[in-house]
Structures are given as C-alpha cells and as structure tokens.
Amino acid sequence: MQIVQIQNVDKLYGVGAIAVQALTSIHLDIKTGEMLCIMGASGSGKSTLLNMIATIDAPTHGTLNIAGQNPALLSDTDLSTFRNQTIGFVFQSYNLIPVLTAFENVEYPLIVAGMPKTKRTQQVMKLLEQVGMLDWVHAYPNCLSGGQQQRVAIARALVSQSPLVIADEPTASLDHQTGTQILDLIRQINQTHHTTFVFSTHDPLVASYATRLIRMDSGRIVS
C-alpha cells in the first residue's frame, strides 16, 4: 500500500529572472513501512522534497497524495490536524521547544490532538522509555546532549503514532556513535511499528539503514 504518491511535481521559488527551479518532474511512490533514504548534494532538492511530503510546502505543479489525502485541498486547520495525526518530524538540529521539558515536548502533539491527560502521560512515558530517556523526563533541552535531544525529538515524532516520519539529516549533528544509536533506534521502531521513515542524508552509513535509496541532483530524481 502506498502512503506517499507524488506525480509530476515541480517546485519553483521566486518569479521571473530570480526564479529557482527546486524540483522538476518528480514522480515518487513510497510504500507503508519503507525506510526511504534521499541522498544528494546540498541544493539538490532533498529538503524541498521532504518539506513537500511533510505538507509544509506546496508544489507549484503536480499532485501529492499523502496517506490518502491531497494536502492542497485541506484548510489550514484541517492540514494542521492532518499533520498532527499522520506525520512525525525529526530535524537535523532537533528543534525542541526550549521552554518545555523533555516530557512536555513529547506531550505537545498529544495536547494539540486533545488526548486526555492520563492517556497522554502513559503514552509519553512509554515513548520516552522506548528512546531511553526516562531519567531525563523533567530536563529542559539545554540540559541535554545532542544525542539525548534527538532521542526526545524522535519520541515526539512517534508519540502520535503517526504512520509516516520525515527525518531531515537526523544524525548530521551527532557524533558517529550517537548517530548509530539513533539509527538503530529508528530501524527498531520501523520494524516493530511498521512506521514509514523518509530521511535525507549525505552519509553512506545512514543510507545503509534504508530499505530503498534515491539520489537527487538539480531538483530531479536521478536514480
């Protein structure tokens, strides 16, 4: 079953002489449970494609279908709800909310979803346990190492039990050992929950964890 279907998508930034073609004629289908890795040099269009799949950027031409929905047809509120329930995000620079503790960061998507407190707490604690962060539940992000922050970010991405997780260079800011731990964790979650992961990287080690690899160059999928 396809969780992502991209047909003939172009993305153009700017207009006229300063227009930049970020994506050209992208066709891509991603199956549920895949670990798809997008590789390419800086400026090749990896992040733009990820943003498109993540519904935070819209194509200039072409159609997108994510988990059975065309994001272009959703209102802001519906799109927010859709993201909350369907897509998890992991960023290179973790992007935790600095004024919230590890627990609160993971809890946030569930609050937005309106989940009752008791159920919310159980789910957050379960995820924090899964990523090995139970001892740091009440720590603020500035008290955590890069690896710990990324674990919290992964817990946050998974807490809503989203079927699709987008990870933009998730280990780029981590040392080799921590990066490997994070990748092992992602693979374990992929295998146990059949969560679909789509991630970008420059790193061949990271790419080796993928079940499928695509390469991008100048806004096109080249292999």
Partner 1 sequence: MMNVKLAFRNLLRNKRRTALTLASIISGVTSLMVYAGFIHYSLWGLRESTIHSGLGHIQIVKNDQYFTSGSFDPFGYSLDRVEDIQSLIQPLPSVRHIVPQSTFGSSIGFNDKTGLVMIQAVPVNTPKDLLRFRKIIKGKDLSQPNSPDIVLGVGVAKRLGVKVGDRVTLLTATRGGGVNAMDVLVVGISKSGIREMDNIYGYMDLELATQFLFLEGPSVLIGVLNNTESTTSTLQDIRSKLTQHGVRATAKPWHELADYYTQATGFFYALMTVIKGIVVLVSVFAIINTITMSVFERVREIGILRIMGSPQRSIITLFILEGMMLGLAGGLMGVMSGYGVSWILNWGGWIYIAPPPGMSDGYIAQFKPTFWDALECVVLAAGVSVVASIYPAWKASKISVADAIRFK
Q: Which residues of the shown chain bind partner 1 in the complex (CB under 8 A)?
A: 47, 51, 54, 56-57, 76-77, 80-81, 83-85, 89, 91, 95, 97-100, 104, 108-109, 111-113, 156, 160
CB of 92 to partner 1, least distance (A): 10
Residue closer to partner 1 (CB basis): 16 or 98: 98
Q: Are 157 and 88 in contact (CB under 8 A)?
A: yes
**Rounded least distance, CB 184 to partner 1, Å:** 25
Please name the residues in contact with 82: beta carbons below 8 A apart, sequence gap of 6 or more: 55, 66, 67, 69, 71, 74
Spell out the residues 6+ positions from residue 52 whose beta carbon is closer than 8 angstroms to its own. Answer: 6, 9, 11, 23, 26, 58, 59, 64
DSSP 90-159: E-TT----TTS-HHHHHHHHHHHHT--HHHHHHHHHHHHHHTT-GGGTT--GGGS-HHHHHHHHHHHHHT
- Residue closer to partner 1 by CB (options 54, 209) is 54
Tell me whether residue 115 or residue 216 sits nearer to partner 1 (CB atom).
115
Q: Please, what is the minimum distance in Å from the beta carbon of residue 100 to partner 1?
A: 7
Distances (CA, A) of 172 to 31, 52, 94, 191: 25, 21, 10, 23
State the nearest-atom distance from the C-beta of 22 to partner 1, in Å: 11
CB contact at 8 A, 200 and 37: yes
Determine which helix (DSSP H) or strand (DSSP E) holds 63, and give its type and residue range.
Answer: strand 61-66
Residue 79 vs 125, nearer CB to partner 1:
79
Minimum distance from residue 120 beta carbon to partner 1 (Å): 11
Q: How far is the CB of 115 from partner 1 (least distance, A)?
A: 12
Cβ closest to partner 1, residue 54 vs residue 102: 54
Among residues 104 and 203, whose Cβ is nearest to partner 1? 104
In angstroms, rounded to a whole number, what is the distance separating the alpha carbons of residues 82 and 105? 19
